[in-house]
Structure 1
Amino acid sequence: MKKTTIATLVAAAMTSATPAFATDVAKELAAMKARIAQLEAQLAAQQATTEKLEQETEAQASAAPANGGFADNVSVGGEVTLLAQQVETDGENSVGDVLVDTFELEIAADINENVKVSTLIEYLSADEKLDLAEAYVVIGSEDDPLSFTLGKAAHPLLVGDSAAFTDPIAFDIFDAKEGLAMLSYQNEMIQLDTYVLNNSAEGNEGLDTFGLNLGTTFSNGVSLGAGYVTDVANTAGPFSELGGLTEKIDAWRVNALVEANDLALFAEYIQLGKSNLAGEPSFLHLGAGYGTQILGADGTLFLGYSESDEAEDIDDVAGIDYELPEKRVALGVSRSLGENAEVTAEYVREEAYSDTDSDILNVAVTTTF
């Protein structure tokens, strides 16, 4: 058959089939368009449902603090420290004991976005009693640099940065928690507190003790601070026990912290005003801590030195007959026992104003939860 004849027959066949073919294609296109429209409608409905659920979830989350959900609003934490101690004092028999050194239970609650409440129940072996050490409310949102604290809390005269287990000498008398009203301002660099304290002098229950605290933190790891309070005679227990004390005793503090990689250095100095009984007592604390690996776990090597001057008349702490040390040196090591637990071994040397020296060995296990 000639090529022209074949071409003519093919062309004729295609021409005759075109109308039917076009009709089928049009139907298929229409069906596809309908299906696509149906899928788009289903997708839009699903997106609308998802957005609604997300909005409801966000609304419930933002409303949770106001609704008072326990799990979302309340946090409970604490610390337990068990201590084995051996004390050797000149001219006295050695004393050893195993005791609960510290027990703390802290309960905090976010009442709403502007109000928080915190309480601290504390047992200290020196006091041998369970006490509501802190209970205060903080008013102010997280985005607001201003906040107001009202209640029983630790007033910020003492900073006491230390890596040692045994506290500096100043802690023996200044770790005081009082009724206060405090206005604070804080940003990334500055912390400023101004406060009034409940002066608990006999026959006088008034907010007539005023204090100021300033702290600043620099980007190079250096922190500096200063503080002042108009009267410590009745806000630190030992002074209120000094019979015959006739005037207020003010106090000021300067402190510094330097952190460089795993090394931290501390310094703090507190100076009291002159009184008719206690001279002009002062307290100095220096310390160092170095984070490193101890027997395959995270640990810290530490050294602390503190001294008091003209403080020999301050010999009654929390109602206990106790001679305040003139010097205290603490040297030791702490090692992690896993998450939220560590063991500390420490040697402490104390020198009293009466020239009586004590050597103390502490082994403590501290757990937090």
Structure 2
Amino acid sequence: MKKTVLASLITVAMAASQSAQATEMETELNSLKQRITQLESQLSDTMAAQASTDKERAQLSISGSADFLATASELADGSHENDLDVDSVELTVEAAVNEYMTLSTTLKYEDDGEDQELFVDEAIVTIAAVDSPWSLLAGRSGTPFAVINGNAWSDPLTNDLTDNTDDLLLLGFSQGIFSAEGYLFKGQSDERKVDNLGLNAALTFDNGFTIGAGYLNNIRNTDPLQADSLTGDDKVSASRINVSYTVDALALSAEYLKTGSFKALAGRPDVTAWHLSTDYATELLGAPGNLSLGYSKTEDAELLTDAGEALFAHSRVTLGASRELHENAELIVELVREEDYAGANTDTINLVLSTRF
């Protein structure tokens, strides 16, 4: 009898102990599950925040450049000049608005001898789809008439003749070796209407050869040709042909521009401009560099004047060498000889520290 009671008590005690252990284990398991759920939630929130940050970084990019210039010149009359300048500073912010639109804005400072301040040089929105050959660009940008080829720091005379930034609308097409674009821009002479049209077309081959052509219905509506020697508002068309060829480290390019007749000028001359350039990528003093040679010339532009001064030189020759200074910087040395229509020469040496990020 006593043994039976004792055995029962032991059984009850063991059952109670096992029940208590099971309850404690269940409590610990529930606590562990809650902790795991909290950690999973925190990890999910962290990953979502990181993904959002990565997405924002991928959609927004900031870049910029600054050129610091030291120059010395011997003028046509035999006098000498020298100067130190922050030649230009650019800051560009580009953002992906959505999967079809990209917005880009460029602020620029340029030493042009006038009020020196930052201004909006470009502000454009580009609409395009990855699988479509079509694209649409709208906003303020450079008029894409002259094709500036070559790595010379000084622009060729073809750029002097056509350099213009304006409000424009551009429709582009690119498929295979063929590309084309048509654009409307506001122009300078009459900003109440948009009747300035430009067209470009090009063939780019796999062997490095490119040929292109362009047309403007009125080059008078660009900045360089707002001159006091041009009276009236007659339209003057312009056309362009350009070729380039790249093989290994050697790059060659050529461009020819021709305008229609300027009725306001005696003899109604057709102005022409052309340039040739050669670039060779090589190592200079132990770092990647480039050697460049450019020659550009205008014809029949001597009557284009502003405040009595000729707008364009007769010829411009550039000889330059550049060398990288580690990443995102290079040093440029360039010799420039410019001849006016009277046959007088101006010689200039440019020393440029060009930086970018």
| Cα offset, 1:332, TM superposition | 1.6
- Between the aligned partners of 1:91 and 1:220, the Cα distance in structure 2 is 48
Which residue identity does 1:191 align to in structure 2? S
- Tell me, yes or no, if structure 1 residue 114 matches structure 2 residue 100: yes
Moved more, 193-202 or 262-271: 193-202
1:232, 1:239 within 8 Å by CA — same for their partners in 2? no
Aligned residue for 1:310? 300
- Between the aligned partners of 1:214 and 1:83, the Cα distance in structure 2 is 36
* Structure 1 residues 174 and 68: CA distance shift in structure 2, 3 A: farther
- Between the aligned partners of 1:216 and 1:120, the Cα distance in structure 2 is 29
Aligned residue for 2:6? none
- Between the aligned partners of 2:301 and 2:324, the Cα distance in structure 1 is 37
- Between the aligned partners of 1:173 and 1:124, the Cα distance in structure 2 is 19
Larger Rg: 1
Which residue identity does 1:196 align to in structure 2? L
* Structure 1 residues 124 and 321: CA distance shift in structure 2, 3 A: farther
- Tell me, yes or no, if structure 1 residue 88 matches structure 2 residue 88: no
| TM-score normalised by the chain length of structure 2 | 0.81
Pick the aligned partner of 2:319 from 328, 331, 349: 331
Which residue identity does 1:77 align to in structure 2? S
Percent identity over the alignment is 33
Q: After superposition, give the CA deviation of every residue in 1:217-246 in whole Å (9 maximum; x if it has no partner).
A: 100011111110101101233335444133
* Structure 1 residues 179 and 256: CA distance shift in structure 2, 3 A: same
Which residue identity does 2:338 align to in structure 1? E
2:302, 2:310 within 8 Å by CA — same for their partners in 1? no
2:230, 2:304 within 8 Å by CA — same for their partners in 1? no
- Between the aligned partners of 1:68 and 1:310, the Cα distance in structure 2 is 56
Q: After superposition, give the CA deviation of every residue in 1:285-339 in whole Å (9 maximum; x if it has no partner).
A: 10000011101110111100000011112334xx995542100000121111111
Aligned residue for 1:33? none
Aligned residue for 1:346? 334
2:203 counterpart SS class = strand
| TM-score normalised by the chain length of structure 1 | 0.78
1:303 counterpart SS class = strand
- Tell me, yes or no, if structure 1 residue 104 matches structure 2 residue 90: yes
* TM-align CA RMSD: 2.4
Which residue identity does 1:83 align to in structure 2? L
- Between the aligned partners of 1:210 and 1:305, the Cα distance in structure 2 is 29
- Tell me, yes or no, if structure 1 residue 295 matches structure 2 residue 269: no
Aligned residue for 2:221? 234
Q: After superposition, give the CA deviation of every residue in 1:230-277 in whole Å (9 maximum; x if it has no partner).
A: 011012333354441331011111111100000000100111110123
1:325 counterpart SS class = coil
Moved more, 135-144 or 262-271: 135-144
Specify every segment of 5 or more residues in structure 1 that has no aligned partner in the other structure, as ranges: 1-48
| Cα offset, 1:107, TM superposition | 1.1
Aligned residue for 1:253? 240
Aligned residue for 1:21? none
Which residue identity does 2:106 align to in structure 1? L
Q: How does 1:29-44 map to 2 (within 5 A)?
A: none
- Tell me, yes or no, if structure 1 residue 175 matches structure 2 residue 153: no
| Cα offset, 1:82, TM superposition | 0.6
1:118 counterpart SS class = strand
- Between the aligned partners of 1:200 and 1:97, the Cα distance in structure 2 is 32
2:274, 2:296 within 8 Å by CA — same for their partners in 1? yes
* Structure 1 residues 155 and 127: CA distance shift in structure 2, 3 A: farther
* Structure 1 residues 126 and 354: CA distance shift in structure 2, 3 A: farther
- Between the aligned partners of 1:110 and 1:259, the Cα distance in structure 2 is 32
- Tell me, yes or no, if structure 1 residue 125 matches structure 2 residue 115: no
| Cα offset, 1:166, TM superposition | 0.9
Specify every segment of 5 or more residues in structure 2 that has no aligned partner in the other structure, as ranges: 1-39
| Cα offset, 1:124, TM superposition | 2.3
| Cα offset, 1:194, TM superposition | 0.8
